[in-house]
Structure 1
């Protein structure tokens, strides 16, 4: 297909629907962004408490006009540090049309979740896996570093954004990581146990006892340390670094166990990470398979006339154009060196634009660019560096195949830029969820514990369940291992790095943790689920069964019932 300067195949109707929805929202926001309420019709509001650091007084007013004025007079307190001001858009632009506002924000929420998962599946994970190959990392090390980062990137960046950029919403990141760990270690493990019992071919599957006990004990120890940190209420830089360093100890233990087992039995290849061949990307491969099936069906069908052929070509190109809004910005800024997706023009453009985008993100503070002398110099340097990299890419690459020399530089660039896009999307997602909390009058911790945790963990649910059902006995082992290694990574790296950055920002004083009276309840139920698995699974000879699955699901739903009952 020569219509595009890169190899591109239209995907499913779901992807086309999401792209058209994005176009509609973009046009709608552009047309309505200049619409403001008549200031003469809005009465002046005397704030009862102007020293508040949040938007907690928003619901003291009943009508949209008063809320709009309150938001404008408290623009710093009501700002959620995203690129868009959702509260002002909801109450000022669409104040008289609240239903339309809800629909718009919900569609945008779905788009953000899709973009996060799709970016991880199509850009982040392939770069992480290829880097592990180029760096000759063993499966044990790769499975505990790069590959979990691919699956847990959403949780990690959501937590970091929550602590470092979104005012008074660190509780969102804290609850999203804990909620995701709870969801995966209880709900996903429970579902896998139930499905394994229902599948006759999977009966009698046993889980490696030493690896299971190691992972569960590390998670319990990590959560116990977190309980101590929450009780103290303040985190210094050194405490945050020590908390994050637990993951280094975990990697060391994994490597030691891996080499010991390999020395005992050279024919038994331990794989402590995720299977690269059977892992199911989130919203990625399903679309491509569907497209390939349709292509095969079209090629094997009976010959058609020239008019029909022209019509099909036009439709194919039109569908390709509809795919571009969400696809093209990332493709233009993330270097891709995959054999099937290689394109020299796109490689040159991405090498040129990548530094500029990175500098642009650094220059943004909330919704505006800070035009300081330092940021202007950084932007100018990024343009200069981008032009140099673009020229180097043009003269050092071929049209037919991706580069073979210095491949790690391209992979590192793709890794950094996919990380940058994940950062951008995670920041906007946290901002939108905090805004939803203000609009609906729901605690942000509940949104982080449910909506954000479920959305970020959907990929783990899909991939781990598919791995358990289709990967044979080894698939069940890897799926359950991922259900504990992933949350451990998210907790230690996601929360750990967040606490390091937040405490470093407050240095030399300590960072004060956001107060949430329900955190101990969440941690208690999470540890209870881990202890249940730690007791039941060894008693069942390390064979997942109904007792394990029903118990974990009961613990999870009991927690949700109590949390929602107290939250509302």
Structure 2
């Protein structure tokens, strides 16, 4: 089986990145361990000094930014790469080059995530949705929602673990605003598309309600257990509402199809050899109505409904017969 170009380059990039991390990782820890005296002197001073603890923030206000980053920001949870040390120490003499390199690295990360989502993530989700016979609305509020929100989940947990609750909440609200404005707008410009009115209004109403409820929970500066549980139950109610709406829509669609076929059979005045149900209609009938059983097949159920409609039509005078 041939491998596409983008998956090949993606795997190659992962391999190169792993090798770079393997080469730079020991150096990072050696550099962090090269300043134990500063850390010990700072701890001794902190035990005697009643001033508040100094945290890794507001680096620009200090005269020696590199020394401040080495002393207070080496253990800051910044992932595999310490960007503060890279900017303020490694390339402190040429900050313009540091900004260019970091910008290129940021574009590479965005492209990396985009290729992984388009070539691996979305096709797998589409296959799972087809195998489970899920509609687009069902797949969007379950698998796609979890897939798109999983990076936010891990980044929020990291921010909460670092004691940056406001950063976590701001990241979630900012990501939601970015997706609903920039992503939707750019996609509409690149490739115009149409959306169903009812599902779109449903999703917008639930999203607005979630934002308002989140605003209410953070107004007092804290989130209680009951409020957290309410947010989770709100999403569960949203998924249940989508499931029920999809089931109701499929059932109404099937009933309209049955009524239309019964009317066509009445017009032809043929109650013996009526048209059979299609395979997809039989499957839809068994999944949505639940009225078929071993003793009553979909054909028998449909035939009984047809005969009932034909009998009523024949019982009426010809002048009152309407289709």
Query: Do both share a fold (TM > 0.5)?
Result: yes
2:177 to 182, 188, 206: 182
Tell whether the 8 Å contact from 1:94 to 1:100 is kept in structure 2 after alignment. yes
Question: What are the Cα deviations for residues 120-159 of structure 1, in whole angstroms up to 9, with x where unaligned?
Answer: 3333334433444455545543331012323444344333
182-191 or 213-222, which deviates more: 182-191
How far off is 1:246 after superposition? Answer: 0.8
CA contact (8 A) 2:125 2:144 kept: yes
Distance 1:147 1:215, change over 3 A: same
Aligned to 2:143: 146
- 1:428-451 per-residue CA deviation (whole Å, 9 max, x = no partner) reads xxxxxxxxxxxxxxxxxxxxxxxx
Partner of 2:60: 59
What are the equivalent positions in structure 2 for 1:74-85 lying under 5 Å apart?
A: 74-75=72-73, 79-85=76-82
Distance 1:115 1:168, change over 3 A: farther
How far has the Cα of 1:224 moved from its partner?
A: 1.1
Q: 1:35 to 1:240 in 2, by over 3 A?
A: closer
Tell me, yes or no, if structure 1 residue 120 matches structure 2 residue 121. no
Cα distance, 1:59 vs structure 2: 1.9
- For the 8 Å contact 2:6–2:115, the answer to whether it is kept is no
Q: Which residue of 1 aligns with 2:217?
A: 229
Q: Look up the SS of the partner of 2:219 in the other structure.
A: helix
- Structure 1: give runs of 5+ residues left out of the alignment: 1-5, 270-568
1:247 corresponds in structure 2 to: 235
The corresponding residue for 1:71 is 69
Which structure is richer in relative contact order (CA contacts within 8 A, separation 6 or more)?
Answer: 1
* 1:220 to partner: Cα distance: 1.5
Q: Distance in 2 between matches of 1:57 and 1:250?
A: 41
1:105-116, aligned counterparts within 5 Å?
105-116=102-113
Contact 2:56 2:73 in 1 (8 A): no
Tell me if the contact between 1:94 and 1:101 (Cα under 8 Å) persists in the aligned partners: yes
Alpha-carbon offset, residue 253 of structure 1: 1.1
Q: TM-score, normalised by structure 1?
A: 0.36
Q: Report the TM-score, using the length of structure 2 for normalisation.
A: 0.59
How many Å apart are 1:90 and its aligned residue?
A: 2.9
Partner of residue 218 from structure 1, selected from 206, 211, 216: 206
1:169 aligned to which of 161, 164, 167: 164
Matching of residue 104 in structure 1 with residue 92 in structure 2: no
Structure 2 counterpart of 1:95, from 88, 92, 97: 92
- Please give the alpha-carbon distance, in whole angstroms, between the structure 2 residues aligned to 1:195 and 1:91: 39
Structure 1 pair 172–106 and aligned structure 2 pair: CA distance change class (3 A):
farther
2:245 to 240, 254, 257: 257
Partner Cα distance (1:268, 1:234) in 2: 51
Taking the aligned partners of 2:15 and 2:223, their CA distance within structure 1 comes to 45
185-194 vs 108-117, greater mean Cα deviation? 185-194
* Alpha-carbon distance between aligned partners in 1 of 2:173 and 2:58, rounded to the nearest angstrom: 28
Supply the distance in 2 between the matched residues of 1:268 and 1:155 (Cα, whole angstroms): 43
Q: Secondary structure at the match of 1:95?
A: coil
Please say if residues 129 and 139 of structure 2, whose CA atoms lie closer than 8 Å, have aligned partners that are also in contact.
Answer: yes
Written as runs of structure 1 = structure 2, the 5 A alignment for 1:375-454 is: none
When structure 1 is superposed on structure 2, of 83-92 and 227-236 the one drifting more is 83-92
Report 1:338-349 matches (<5 A): none
| Partner deviation per Cα, 1:452-483 (whole Å, 9 max, x = no partner) | xxxxxxxxxxxxxxxxxxxxxxxxxxxxxxxx
Note closer, same or farther for the CA distance 1:159–1:114 as it changes in structure 2 (3 Å cut): farther
In structure 2, what is the Cα distance between the partners aligned to 1:190 and 1:268? 36
Q: Structure 1 125/17 Cα, relative in aligned 2: closer, same or farther at 3 Å? A: closer
Listed as ranges, the matches of 1:323-362 within 5 Å are none
Q: In 2 relative to 1, CA 160–124 (structure 1 residues): closer, same or farther, beyond 3 Å? A: farther
In the comparison of the two structures, how many residue pairs are matched?
A: 247
Could you report, residue by residue, the CA deviation over 1:277-314 in whole angstroms, capped at 9, with x for unpaired residues? xxxxxxxxxxxxxxxxxxxxxxxxxxxxxxxxxxxxxx
Alignment match of 1:86 (pick from 78, 83, 87):
83
| 8 Å CA contact retained: 2:66, 2:85 | yes
User: Rg larger in 1 or in 2?
Assistant: 2
